[in-house]
Amino acid sequence: MIAGLVLRAVVVLSVTALATFTLLWHAPGDPALAISLARFNAVVSSDVIDQLRVEAGLDAGFWPAFRDWVGPLLVGDFGNSAVTGRPVWPDLATAISYTAPLALAGLAFGLVVAIPLAVLATRRPGGWGDRLAVATASLGAAIPAYWLGLLLILLFAVKLAWLPAMGTRTPTHVILPALTLGLGVAAALTRIIRSGILEARA
């Protein structure tokens, strides 16, 4: 069973990597030109673009380029940024250090909201509590996260000035992003927990 799961995971990851690289390879535009514009912030000569193409391995053909791209990933080598030339992993670790606490805060908020709502809904299925929980979960799932985030910024950061709109300096900076993520998580978890409780009682 475990071997089958591992095999399926390997197949899914392999197909995903190949599909991702294929889409990037055949995307419109010249990747070397995009790298040159990002690195130098200006239009450069064709010789420089050709040099960047060789440096990025774009002149080697599809399969050699795919091999050179996916091979280092298998051993945890993310290489260097095509724009800055610096190793990618330190920048990725910095991004994870911000993203992981935010994701955990959003999950925690989602659980705090979802569990009471699901319990309220299952006390009397079809009653006012159930309808309220289902309506709240449906509303949370229907509102796009980017729109909800803008509304929360306008209300709590601009109008009421209770919370900062951006930044990472203090714990209060996490509240609005965590609310935005957590409401979407709560919407999904409320339905899942409610269904699980009702099935356990049946």
- Same domain? For 117 and 53 the reply is no
Q: Are 14 and 74 in contact (CB under 8 A)?
A: no
- Same domain? For 112 and 52 the reply is no
- 10-residue block means of pLDDT along the chain (202 residues)? 83 90 84 79 78 79 85 80 79 85 89 87 79 81 85 88 80 86 86 83 68
Give the domain-ending residue among 69, 86, 103.
Answer: 86
Give the domain-ending residue among 32, 55, 86.
Answer: 86
Instruction: Provide the number of structural domains found in the chain.
Output: 2
Give the domain-ending residue among 41, 63, 86.
Answer: 86
Give the per-residue pLDDT at 162: 87
Q: Are 201 and 193 in contact (CB under 8 A)?
A: no
- Same domain? For 76 and 110 the reply is no
- Same domain? For 101 and 185 the reply is yes
- Same domain? For 187 and 134 the reply is yes
- Same domain? For 37 and 98 the reply is no
Name the residue range of residue 118's domain. 92-201
CATH code, domain carrying 104? 1.10.3720.10
Rounded to whole angstroms, the Cα distance separating 44 from 81 reads 19
Give the per-residue pLDDT at 19: 92
CB atoms closer than 10 angstroms to residue 84: 11
- Same domain? For 15 and 35 the reply is yes
Give the per-residue pLDDT at 16: 92
Rounded to whole angstroms, the Cα distance separating 15 from 59 reads 23
Q: Hey, what amino acid is at 64?
A: P
